[in-house]
Structure 1
Amino acid sequence: MIHLFTHNDLDGVGCGIVAKVAFGDKVKVHYNSVGSLNYQVADFMEEVTKENQLYITDLSVNDDNAIKIDEFVKAGGFAQFIDHHKTALHLNEFSWASVTVEYDDGRLTSATSLFYEYLIEQNLLSRSPSLDEAVELIRQYDTWEWDKNNNIKAKKLNDLLYMISIDDFEARMLDKLKKADRFDFDDFESQILEMEEQKLERYLRKKRREIIQKPVGEHWVGIIHAEQFLSEVGNTLGKENAHLDYIAMISMGSKRISLRTIHDDVDVSKVAAKYDGGGHAKASGCQLNEEAYKSFVAEAFPLEPLKQDAQKNVFNIKESPNGVLFDSKDKGSFFLSPKNDGSWQIENKGKLLEHSFSTFHDAEKFVKRNHAAWLVKDEDYVNFLVENIRRLKNM
């Protein structure tokens, strides 16, 4: 019997689907959370025989299980570990492990894409157009390339997984892959996906009003309590609050923290590692242990949520050559204006700050991080300009 242990997210379930296309009824797929994998693998290794073939994808095994798997392979058993998380790179020292973070062309890998290619190379699976498309959709979603490429179909595929059971999702995907050359959604799936999109918009409106900010270690963090739409919430709030290094989403029920960043110079897998977690540079997770609870929950509890930037402005827009107006609760209004040399200066209560900033983003980051400032509406902006036009001309 073939046994596959894999994650219960889209990339992990993708591995399960690919395995069932390749092996059919000969494979038993075990879907696991991050926290349950090593318990399940340890139990399996107690009873494994040489008649069993073991595959593990998209989740990393601990040192104890790695030793057990290595002993099993050296005794003549078969095991193959395939992953794409850099926190698992150390397992490449074993002959049965293959961890690849990115392809030669710079594209990020996913467990599904690596497993699919492995099965093809081993002549265990034949390539098809529908499989190619499905695997690429999963890879783009898991690496967040779908957002850069505006590949909404990849996002919808993930949405569908979380709207129905894994068993139902798996059955639907297998049926599509067997019947069609092109991977697409049927009418029922399209209808429920539209309903889910509306639900997401309502959830985002709520979470925008709840985010707070605070420094944690060397980073400024946006903290929110959220238990669904984590990737969408993290990505949206990260873009709307670009002055923050990353977004931390707390799930008290599962006692986990999901971390997301939109910045290339921030690696949230390093943050997660401090709290017994791991993942990708832009998307990781960790346990809500005692240290994490103190930093992300207890110390954050007394803080007030950030006030949102005005959304529909025409005149008071970021990087406007006429200047940009922010307001704050502690220091009143801040007027950011460009200087002749391209740098930006900040005025507060009629006085210029001594320090200027090389870019608008740096100036905005200063007033948002230090004073939780927000972009005011056009009406307030116009009134400010009318009241201060003479003084501003002399700045």
Structure 2
Amino acid sequence: MYHLYTHNDLDGVSCGILAKCAFGEKVEIRYNSIGGLNDQVARYLERPKKKSSLIITDLSVNEQNERGLDAYYRAGGKVLLLDHHKTALHLNEYPWGKVQVEYENGKLASATSLLYEHFIQQRLLKPTKALDDYVELVRLYDTWEWEKAGRVEAKRLNDLFFMVSMEEFEETMLERLEDDDQPFAFSDFEDKILNIEEERIERYVRRKKRELVQTYIHDRCVGIVHAESYHSELGHELGRDNPHLDYIAILNVGGKKMSLRTIHDHIDVSEIAARFGGGGHSKASGCSMGEEVYRLYVSETFTMEPVRPDAFKNKYNLKDSPFGTLYENRKEQQIFIFSSDKEWEVDVDDQECSERFSTFAQAERFVKRRFSAWLVRDEAYVHYLMEQRSDKRSRALVLV
């Protein structure tokens, strides 16, 4: 008998689907949250089952279970842990641990792709077109490579996963993957409900964009929003719209969880999550909401006003404009970015900043991070320019 303990997200549940394809009724699967795995493993080690194999995927264990699993393995027990999070790399020191973050070709690994390869190598599964396609979609979504690869169906697969029950998703995918020769595809009905879901997600994200607050936490410029749903979509959209932010923190106070997302290669949110006892990927991680997380991200930011989004229907106040670009913030400061001698300068309420920038993007990043400012509408921009022209004319008359 096989026992599979895995995560309860798309990547983890897909490991369960592969295990059922390989073992049929000879596998018992338990889907766990990040915090629930260790209790599950501890119970297994207390009463190890004879002639059984334990497989753990997409999650890692604490130090106590690490020692327990090693003792169990050395006593003749069969155990395999497969993971792809860099916070679990130390488990490669054990013969039962295999942690791989990325492949030799530079592609990032997922638990599903690692387990699929393991089953093929052990001749427990034969590769098929349907399985190949499905495993790749899961890998693309879980590693956030789907957008770069132009594979929106990977995101739609995750949307479908959250739209139906875990049992229904598992049953549907098992039936579809039995068709060896056909590539993996959604049914017509699934396509229709996924289109409806995409519209719902767009409305939800659009509303949450207006609730984003900005602050500095541990020297990082952070965007914070409270949301219970669609964390990946929300994190992606907010990060893309606000590239000056180092990362996005999505808070679910009811669920006592925090999700972290970034679009930047130089920011590793798994390190930030690890500071609070969590973990994950470099661009997508999470942790439980303990006292310190609550204080830093909820309590100390609760009274902050949201940062307004940039005006998006402008014809005159445009970014990188040769006539200059105007921003404002909650303190009603007016920040003007303009080009001078092949450099970009910044004026704050007509006071020149000492900083100089070689590109407009650098200047705007400085303005947004330092002043929490947004691009104003054309009306305010034209009024500002008229005032500047009037002031210059007045000063000229005084000099005369």
Q: Same fold (TM over 0.5)?
A: yes
Instruction: Report which stretch shifted further, 66-75 or 31-40.
Output: 66-75
Partners of 1:329 and 1:190 lie apart in 2 by 43
Partner of 1:317: 318
Q: Check if 1:117 corresponds to 2:124.
A: no
Q: Check if 1:29 corresponds to 2:26.
A: no
Partner of 2:71: 71
Partner of 1:266: 267
Partner of 2:172: 172
Partners of 1:211 and 1:172 lie apart in 2 by 37
1:331–1:371 CA contact under 8 A, matched in 2: no
Partners of 2:272 and 2:157 lie apart in 1 by 29
Matched letter for residue 252 of structure 2: S
1:91–1:99 CA contact under 8 A, matched in 2: yes
1:331–1:348 CA contact under 8 A, matched in 2: no
The residue correspondences of 1:1-395 to structure 2 (distance < 5 A) are: 1-179=1-179, 181-341=182-342, 343-388=343-388
1:49–1:77 CA contact under 8 A, matched in 2: no
Give the alignment's Cα RMSD to 1 decimal. 1.8
Partners of 1:19 and 1:317 lie apart in 2 by 54
Partners of 2:319 and 2:116 lie apart in 1 by 45
Instruction: Report which stretch shifted further, 98-107 or 38-47.
Output: 38-47
Partners of 1:91 and 1:227 lie apart in 2 by 33
Deviation at 1:242, TM superposition (A): 1.2
1:4–1:27 CA contact under 8 A, matched in 2: yes
1:278–1:284 CA contact under 8 A, matched in 2: yes
Matched letter for residue 64 of structure 2: D
Instruction: Give the direction of change, closer, same or farther, for the CA distance of 1:65–1:357 in structure 2 (3 Å limit).
Output: same
Scaled by the length of structure 2, the TM-score of the pair is 0.94
Equivalent position SS for 1:5:
strand
Deviation at 1:237, TM superposition (A): 0.6
1:260–1:282 CA contact under 8 A, matched in 2: yes
Deviation at 1:253, TM superposition (A): 1.7
Matched letter for residue 132 of structure 1: D
Partners of 2:55 and 2:130 lie apart in 1 by 24
Aligned residues: 392
Matched letter for residue 336 of structure 1: I
> Cα deviation per residue 1:319-370 (whole Å; 9 max; x = unaligned)?
23332221223253211122333x3111233332222123323322222223
1:333–1:349 CA contact under 8 A, matched in 2: yes
Partners of 1:130 and 1:389 lie apart in 2 by 67
> Cα deviation per residue 1:10-53 (whole Å; 9 max; x = unaligned)?
11111111111111111111111111111111112222223111
Q: Greater CA radius of gyration, 1 or 2?
A: 2
Deviation at 1:254, TM superposition (A): 1.8
Instruction: Report which stretch shifted further, 48-57 or 96-105.
Output: 48-57
Gaps of 5+ in 2: 393-400
Matched letter for residue 335 of structure 2: F
Scaled by the length of structure 1, the TM-score of the pair is 0.95
Instruction: Give the direction of change, closer, same or farther, for the CA distance of 1:149–1:312 in structure 2 (3 Å limit).
Output: farther
> Cα deviation per residue 1:288-332 (whole Å; 9 max; x = unaligned)?
111111100110111111111112334433223332221223253
Equivalent position SS for 1:299:
helix
Partners of 1:376 and 1:349 lie apart in 2 by 15
Partners of 1:126 and 1:381 lie apart in 2 by 64
Gaps of 5+ in 1: none
Equivalent position SS for 1:213:
strand
Partners of 2:258 and 2:137 lie apart in 1 by 26
Equivalent position SS for 1:224:
strand
Partners of 2:313 and 2:183 lie apart in 1 by 40
Partners of 1:379 and 1:122 lie apart in 2 by 68
% identical aligned pairs: 51
Deviation at 1:391, TM superposition (A): 8.2
Deviation at 1:127, TM superposition (A): 0.5
Deviation at 1:371, TM superposition (A): 2.0
Matched letter for residue 217 of structure 2: V
